[in-house]
Amino acid sequence: MLILVLLGLLPCLVSSAVLDKKAGETSSDIFPPTGTTVNTAIFPNESEVGYPGITLTGVEPAAIQTAPASLYAYNTDPLSSYPLVSDHPNGSNGEDGFDITKYWGNLSPWYSVSSNFYGLNETSPNSPKGCSIIQVHLLYRHGARYPTTGSPPSTFASKISNATKQEKGFNSTGELNFLNEWKYLLGAELLTISGRLQNFALGASFRQQYGYLLNNFTESKTLPVFRTESQDRMVKTANNFAAGMFGVPEYLDQVNIEIMVETPGINNTGAPYETCLNSNVASKGSIGSTAAAAFAKNAFNETLERLQSQITGVNLTSTDIIAMLQLCSYETDALGYSAFCKLFTEEDFENYEYYFDISFYYNNGAGSPVAAAQGKGFLSEFVSRFTGGPTPKADSSVNSTLDNNPIYFPLNQSIYADATHEVIILDTLTAFNLSAIFSSGPLPINKRTENSFKASQVVPFATHLTIQVLECSNTSPSKQIRFILNDAVLPIDQSYDGCEYNKDGLCSFDNVVNVLQKRIEEIDWNHDCLGNYTASPGNDYNGRAPRN
Ligand SMILES: *[C@@H]1O[C@H](CO)[C@@H](O)[C@H](O)[C@H]1NC(C)=O
Ligand SMILES: *[C@@H]1O[C@H](CO)[C@@H](O)[C@H](O)[C@H]1NC(C)=O
Ligand SMILES: *[C@@H]1O[C@H](CO)[C@@H](O)[C@H](O)[C@H]1NC(C)=O
Ligand SMILES: *[C@@H]1O[C@H](CO)[C@@H](O)[C@H](O)[C@H]1NC(C)=O
Ligand SMILES: *[C@@H]1O[C@H](CO)[C@@H](O)[C@H](O)[C@H]1NC(C)=O
Ligand SMILES: *[C@@H]1O[C@H](CO)[C@@H](O)[C@H](O)[C@H]1NC(C)=O
Ligand SMILES: *[C@@H]1O[C@H](CO)[C@@H](O)[C@H](O)[C@H]1NC(C)=O
Ligand SMILES: *[C@@H]1O[C@H](CO)[C@@H](O)[C@H](O)[C@H]1NC(C)=O
Ligand SMILES: *[C@@H]1O[C@H](CO)[C@@H](O)[C@H](O)[C@H]1NC(C)=O
Ligand SMILES: *[C@@H]1O[C@H](CO)[C@@H](O)[C@H](O)[C@H]1NC(C)=O
Ligand SMILES: *[C@@H]1O[C@H](CO)[C@@H](O)[C@H](O)[C@H]1NC(C)=O
Ligand SMILES: *[C@@H]1O[C@H](CO)[C@@H](O)[C@H](O)[C@H]1NC(C)=O
C-alpha cells in the first residue's frame, strides 16, 4: 500500500517501473549481478596493453606550506576549486568575486554552466516533468594533468635557468622576486591529485544520479563495458571514475575497462589525431594555435612591460607571458598554489581565456577544417549505440576490429561512459553539430570580443557531455533525446532540421537519429584528414575542410 502511494506520486511512467523493481528487490537483484566477474584476459590492464606515453612525475605538493596564510582552500570558498588555492589577480582583493580559475581555458577545473547561458532559462539536467531517462551516454575528459611534453612552461623554465648561468646573471625584483628561488617542479602528462579527485567525483555523482540504470545489467547478468585510451593518465582517469562510481575496491570487479591503444597509425575513436594526418598541419588542423599566438603578441603589452621592468638577464616575450600564465594554472592544479597567478590582472586573465577560445575554436571547433572528421568516430559509434546497431562504418577513426565485436562494442547497454581528451570532446560536439556553443560566430582573432564560445566552459579538466534518452508521457513521439554539457542543457533547434524549440532541449529521438545519420554521411574523413587544401582562421567551416 505504501509502495502504491509512493508510486502514485512519481511523475514519470517508466522510472516508476524501474523504481518499482527496486522497491521489491532482494539481494540477488542488486548490482553487481551474481556470477559475473571482470575478465582480465579479455580486458587486459594497463601494463598488458602498453603504450602508456610519457610518464614523468613531479615533486610532492606542499600547498599547506607554499600558499600565503590568508589563502586556504576552504570548501565554502567560491574563489577556490577545492582543494586548490587560487590567488587574487593583480590589483584586486577578491571582493568583486573574480575567480581566476574560470579563465584558464582547457586548464580550468570544470564548473557547472547554466543552461541559461545557451538560451534555455527554465530547465535543468533533472528529468523533465512527464519524462523518465531510460539510457545515458557519457563522454568525459581526464582531470587535471601535468603539462604535455614540450609545452611553454618547461621552455620558460629552461630560459630562466640558462639566464642564471650567464656571466651578467639573472636578477628579478619586486613582484618577481620569487623567481630568483623558483624551480620548475612539474612532471609531464600524468593525471595530478586534483585531476584524480575530479574524475572520482564525476563517477560518484554519476552513480548518485543514474545508479538505477545499473538495474538493466543486473537483469541481463552482464557487467558494463566502459572505454578509455592507453595513455597512463587516460587509464588512471577511467579507474578513478570507476572507483567513484562503484567504490574501492569494488570497481576492480564490477566494470570491464577497455583500454584502446593510443599511438600513431592506430584507429582509435578516442585519439583520431593518430590517423588524421592533417590534424597537426599548420595550414589545416592547427590554424587555431597560430592565430592564438598572434593574438597573444598584442594582448599583454602593458603587463609585459611591467614585468620586464622588474627583471634583468632575460628579455620577456608574449610567449613567456603565456608560459607564466600557464604556470599559474599548472602549478595551482598540480601543487595546490602558484605564486605566478598574482602577477596578472583581471584583464590579463580575460585575454588568457580568449587566447584559448581562439585556439580551440579554430583547432577543434566550428572554425577547424578537421574537427568534424575527428569527431566522426564517436558520432558514428554513438549513433550505433542509440539505434542498437548496425555497427559503425569504418570510414573515420573507427576501429572495426573492436566495433564489430559485441564484447568490445556492446550495443545494448543502459549506461555508456567513454573517457577521452578535450580536443576530441570538442571535435565530437562539432561533429554532432551542437552549434549552440558556437552561436556568436567566428571569433575575431585580433581583439577580444564577447562571445558564446568559452574554452573553460567547453574543454576544461573533466569536462563531460551527457546524452539522455528519455521516454515522455507528454510528448509525441514519446521517445526523446537531449544533450547536456557540464550541466548546461543545449538547445538544438537551430542546427537540427525538424527539431523545434523546446524549453528542456528535447527533440524526437528518431528525428535526431535521422539528422545525425545525414551528418555522418556528409563528413568526409578522407578529404578533411588526408586531402590537400588550405584553411585559414576567421571562418565558420562547421568543422569541415574547404574544397580548394
Ligand atoms: C596486469 O595483468 C597482469 C596479467 O593478468 C598481472 O600479472 C598484473 O599483476 C596486472 N597488473 C596490475 C597493475 O594489476
Ligand atoms: C600590480 O601592478 C602594479 C602596477 O600596475 C604594481 O605596482 C604592483 O606592484 C602589482 N602587484 C600587486 C600585488 O598589486
Ligand atoms: C525565460 O525567458 C522567457 C523569454 O525570454 C521569459 O518569458 C521567462 O520569464 C524566463 N524565465 C525565467 C525563469 O527567467
Ligand atoms: C638552454 O640552454 C640549453 C643548452 O645550451 C639549450 O639546449 C636550450 O635550448 C636553452 N633553452 C632555451 C629556452 O633557450
Ligand atoms: C638585483 O637588483 C636589485 C635592484 O636593482 C639590486 O638591489 C640587487 O643588488 C640585485 N641583485 C643582484 C644579485 O644582482
Ligand atoms: C584496433 O584496435 C586494437 C586495440 O586497440 C589495435 O590493436 C589494432 O591495431 C587496431 N586496428 C587498427 C586498424 O588500427
Ligand atoms: C604590442 O607589442 C608589440 C611588440 O612590441 C607591438 O608590435 C604591438 O604594436 C604592440 N601592440 C599594442 C596594441 O600596443
Ligand atoms: C635583450 O634585448 C636587448 C635589446 O635588443 C639586447 O641588447 C640584449 O642582449 C638582450 N638580452 C638578452 C639576455 O637576450
Ligand atoms: C581504419 O581507418 C581507415 C580510415 O577510415 C579505414 O580505411 C580502415 O578500414 C580502418 N581499419 C579498421 C580495422 O577499422
Ligand atoms: C547485450 O547482448 C549480449 C549479446 O546478446 C548479451 O549477452 C548481454 O547480456 C546483453 N547486455 C545487456 C546489458 O543487456
Ligand atoms: C532497461 O530496463 C528497463 C526496465 O526493464 C527497460 O524498459 C529498458 O528498455 C532497458 N534499457 C535498455 C537499454 O536495455
Ligand atoms: C597542395 O596544393 C598546392 C596548391 O595547389 C600545391 O602547391 C601543393 O604542391 C599540393 N601539395 C601536395 C602535397 O600535393
Query: Each residue of 121-171: pLDDT tens digit?
Result: 999 999 999 999 999 999 999 999 999 998 999 999 999 999 999 877 899
- The reported pLDDT for the residue numbered 238 is 98
Alpha carbons within 13 A on the beta-carbon side of 8: 5
Nearest one of 452, 420, 425, 448 to 436, comparing CA atoms:
452
The answer to whether 277 and 529 have CB atoms below 8 angstroms apart is yes
Q: Confidence class of residue 4 from pLDDT cuts 50, 70 and 90?
A: very low
- Please report which helix (H) or strand (E) contains residue 352, including its range: helix 346-364
In ligand 8, the atom with minimum distance to the C-alpha of 168 is 13
Task: Let me know if 8 is exposed, middle or buried by CB neighbors in 10 A (0-12, 13-18, 19+).
Answer: exposed
pLDDT above 70: residue 79:
no
pLDDT tens track for 320-362:
999 999 999 999 999 999 999 999 999 999 999 999 999 999 9
The single residue listed with the C-alpha cell 534518452 is 469
Please state the domain extents for the chain. Answer: 31-548
User: What phi, psi does 49 have (nearest 5°)?
Assistant: -70, -40
| Whether the predicted pLDDT of 69 surpasses 90 | no
CB atoms within 10 A of CB 77: 15
Q: What is the mean pLDDT of residues 209-228?
A: 94
Ligand 3: distance of its center to the CA of 501 in Å?
14
First and final CA of the chain: distance in angstroms?
71
Listing DSSP states for 258-298 in one string gives: EEE--STT---TT-GGGT-GGGG-TTTTTHHHHHHHHHHHH
Q: What is the DSSP string of 197-257?
A: HHHHHHHHHHHHHHGGGGHHHHHHT---EEEEESSHHHHHHHHHHHHHHH-TTTHHHH-EE
Q: In whole angstroms, what is the distance from residue 168 CA to residue 315 CA?
A: 13
C-beta separation of 353 from 300 below 8 A: no
Would you list the DSSP string of 402-469? HHT-TTTS-S--SEEEEEE-HHHHHHHHHHTT-GGGGTT-SPPSSS----S--HHHHSSBT-EEEEEE
Q: Assess whether the C-beta atom of 216 lies below 6 angstroms from ligand 10.
A: yes
Q: Supply the pLDDT for residue 63.
A: 77
Q: How far is the CA of 288 from the centre of ligand 12 (A)?
A: 21
Q: Where does ligand 7 bind, in terms of residues with CB under 6 Å?
A: 297-298, 301
Nearest residue (by CA) to ligand 2, atom 12, is: 90
| pLDDT tens track for 242-261 | 999 999 999 999 999 999 99
d(Cα 130, Cα 11) in Å, to the nearest integer? 6
3-state secondary structure (DSSP) of residue 482: strand
Question: In which element (H, E) is residue 513 found?
Answer: helix 509-522
* Widest distance between CA atoms in the chain: 88
Q: Does domain 31-548 have CATH number 3.40.50.300?
A: no
pLDDT class of 73 with cuts at 50, 70, 90: confident
Please determine, for residue 262, whether its predicted confidence score (pLDDT) is greater than 90: yes
Extract the C-alpha cell encoding 19. Answer: 523504481
Of all residues in the chain, the percent with pLDDT exceeding 90 is 84
| Structural Rg of the chain based on CA atoms | 24
Mean pLDDT confidence for 401-410: 98
**Residues 6+ away with beta carbon under 8 Å from 181:** none
318 lines ligand 11 (CB under 6 A): no
The secondary structure of 306-324, three-state, reads: HHHCCEECCCCCHHHHHHH
* pTM, 2 dp: 0.92
Q: Which residue has the cell 513521439?
A: 477
Å from CA of 73 to ligand 2 middle: 24
In terms of Cβ atoms closer than 10 Å to its own Cβ (0-12, 13-18, 19+), residue 289 is middle
- Mean pLDDT for the stretch of residues 277-282: 96
CA of 377 to the centre of ligand 11 (A): 26
Please tell me the number of the ligand nearest to residue 303's CA.
Answer: 2
Q: Do 333 and 191 form a contact (C-beta atoms < 8 A)?
A: no
Choose which residue among 168, 171, 312 to substitute to test ligand 5 binding: the one with the highest number of ligand atoms within 8 A of its C-beta.
Answer: 171
Min mean pLDDT across 19-28, 414-423, 471-480 is at 19-28
Does the Cβ of 339 fall within 6 Å of ligand 9?
A: no
Strands, DSSP E only, in 317-406? none
Spatial CA neighbour of 86 closest among 96, 98, 95? 98
What phi-psi label fits residue 336: left (phi over 0), alpha (psi between -120 and 50 degrees) or beta?
Answer: left
Over the stretch 7-38, which tens digit does the pLDDT of each residue have?
A: 333 333 334 434 444 444 555 677 888 888 89
Q: Which of 453, 511, 362 is nearest to 118 (CA)?
A: 453
